[in-house]
Amino acid sequence: MENKVLQGLVNDITERKMLEESANQLAMTDHLTNVANRLGLEKNVAKIQFEMHAGLIGSFYVLMIDLDGFKAVNDQYGHEIGDKVLLHFTQLLSKIVRKSDFIARTGGDEFVVILKEVDAIEKVQHIASKIIHEASQMIEFGESIQIQIGASIGINLVDQANFDMAKVLQRADEAMYYAKKSGKNRYHVFS
């Protein structure tokens, strides 16, 4: 009898833990695209900072991506189609980056990608070019809707374990705005 009570207690605790974990996971996930949200990004960056302090990784790249011409999609076809475009772009990103990389949607049409195991800026530039190329391909919904958007990307290298996350994102953001100002549909590396 005592064993049964104990087992019941263990089951209750396990169930509560599982519920807590899935609630945490939910709080860190963007509900539309199912990738991380800003909270999920913060958690991931904290984990990377720990890995850098432990000497497990030496550097990483942050890509700040903002879609070009997205407002016009909403204006012309409505929010529902706009949401589908955001989902389409997220799936496209997932195919381009590796499973070990990290994707977050941090705002309306703004995404952050973290590339950890890349040793040369040329590889990052190659990935950024691929994202821009794929993002600009025509998206079709049924026979009558054809949509073309674009992507502007800011790239920032982080190579010190004592980095300040706000500054890291701000620099990637500055680089992204530079790409927008220079004509959109391109990337810029923060320097």
- Contact residues for ligand GTP, defined by CB under 6 A: 32, 66-72, 74, 79, 82-83, 86, 108-109
Whether the Cβ atoms of residue 154 and residue 176 lie closer than 8 Å to each other: yes
Smallest gap from residue 78 Cβ to ligand GTP (A): 8
Smallest gap from residue 101 Cβ to ligand GTP (A): 23
Whether the Cβ atoms of residue 156 and residue 42 lie closer than 8 Å to each other: no
What is d(CA 151, CA 9) in angstroms, rounded to the nearest whole number?
A: 52
Smallest gap from residue 67 Cβ to ligand GTP (A): 5
Look at the chain and count its residues. Answer: 191
Q: Is 155 left (phi over 0), alpha (psi -120 to 50) or beta?
A: beta
Nearer to ligand GTP, 28 or 161 (CB): 28
Reduced 3-state DSSP string for 92-142: HHHHHCCCCCEEEECCCCEEEEEECCCCCHHHHHHHHHHHHHHHCCCEEEC
Q: Which residue has the tokens 């790239």?
A: 155
Active site residue 75: no
Smallest gap from residue 33 Cβ to ligand GTP (A): 9
Nearer to ligand GTP, 32 or 46 (CB): 32
Nearer to ligand GTP, 49 or 170 (CB): 170
Given the residues 66, 101, 109, 173, the one annotated as active site:
109
Nearer to ligand GTP, 51 or 134 (CB): 134
- Positions annotated as catalytic residues are 109
